[in-house]
Chain A
Amino acid sequence: ETGVTQSPTHLIKTRGQQVTLRCSSQSGHNTVSWYQQALGQGPQFIFQYYREEENGRGNFPPRFSGLQFPNYSSELNVNALELDDSALYLCASSLVPLDREEETQYFGPGTRLLVL
């Protein structure tokens, strides 16, 4: 158990709808990163939030947006869902700057999104 939780665990939506996924970070962590993992592939970095500000973004369109709250929990919002958005969405929490050299980030269990 990493202490990172995500909700919901599974979700089914139809094309064109909007979805909000939630992540609760590990206690003491101030940074959350979101990843998309399509079936059989490695995760793709979507974006990262640090102290409520976006702190880096991967190659994803603007319809992917996020929020980080003062308690460091986070949301990922996806508008105008497309079939290719079907994937496992993972959040990971971490402490930046690094508290110690060998620090790592901790992943939640993921939300599996199916778009029909």
Chain B
Amino acid sequence: ELKVEQNPLFLSMQEGKNYTIYCNYSTTSDRLYWYRQDPGKSLESLFVLLSNGAVKQEGRLMASLDTKARLSTLHITAAVHDLSATYFCAVDMDSNYQLIWGAGTKLIIKP
């Protein structure tokens, strides 16, 4: 059974700092996604990672994938308050959108 684990589950940090969220999964996978969710809102797609060594960047967020280690990271650079949200990674084993999700990392960025 595929399991997806994120850590940390909660992160409080100051603006301007850097930090990394980790996502481990237990079996091979075709695709890995990162999503953002604001309180009471739906899910917004951030990144799709397809292959070993893939790196994607958008603004202050950078995601990477190591399929051999079954590990993805979401790195936040010089955090700003607007990045406060819950971040989820999700794994798609067969490229069929039947995703298995991590528990989420609740990120609070303090001014």
Contacts from A to B (Cβ < 8 Å): 2, 31, 33, 35, 41-45, 48, 55-56, 58, 90, 92, 94, 96, 98, 101-110
Whether the pair A44, B42 counts as a contact (CB closer than 8 A) is: no
Across the interface, do A41 and B99 meet the contact criterion of CB distance under 8 Å? Answer: no
User: In residues 17-41 of chain B, which contact A (Cβ within 8 Å)?
Assistant: 33, 41
Kindly identify which residue among A2, A44, A48, A58 contacts B97, using a CB–CB cutoff of 8 Å: A48
* B104 CB contact (under 8 Å) in A41, A58, A92: A41
Residues of B within 8 A of A101 (CB): 50
- Give residues 79-111 of B contacting A (CB, 8 Å): 88, 90, 95-104
Interface residues of B in 46-103 (CB under 8 A from A): 48, 50, 88, 90, 95-103
Q: Which of B4, B42, B90, B96 contacts A48 (CB 8 A)?
A: B96
Say how far B104's CB is from chain A's closest CB, in angstroms.
5
**Cα distance A90–B97 in the bound complex, in angstroms:** 14
* Chain B residue nearest to A50 in the complex (CB): B96
The 3 closest A-B pairs by CB, nearest first: A42-B101, A107-B43, A104-B45
With a CB–CB cut-off of 8 A, which chain B residues contact A109?
A: 41-42
In the complex with contacts A43-B43, A109-B41, A104-B48 CB distance below 8 A = yes
**B interface residues, Cβ below 8 angstroms from A:** 4, 33, 41-45, 48, 50, 88, 90, 95-104
Min distance, Cβ B49 to any Cβ of chain A, angstroms: 9
Q: A45-B99, A109-B42 are in contact. List 20 more A-B contacts (CB 8 A).
A: A33-B99, A41-B103, A41-B104, A42-B88, A42-B90, A42-B102, A42-B103, A42-B104, A43-B90, A43-B99, A56-B98, A90-B42, A92-B97, A101-B50, A102-B48, A103-B48, A106-B45, A107-B42, A107-B43, A107-B44
Chain A residues within 8 Å of B42, by CB: 2, 90, 107-110
Contact among B41, B44, B96 for A96, CB-based, below 8 A = B96
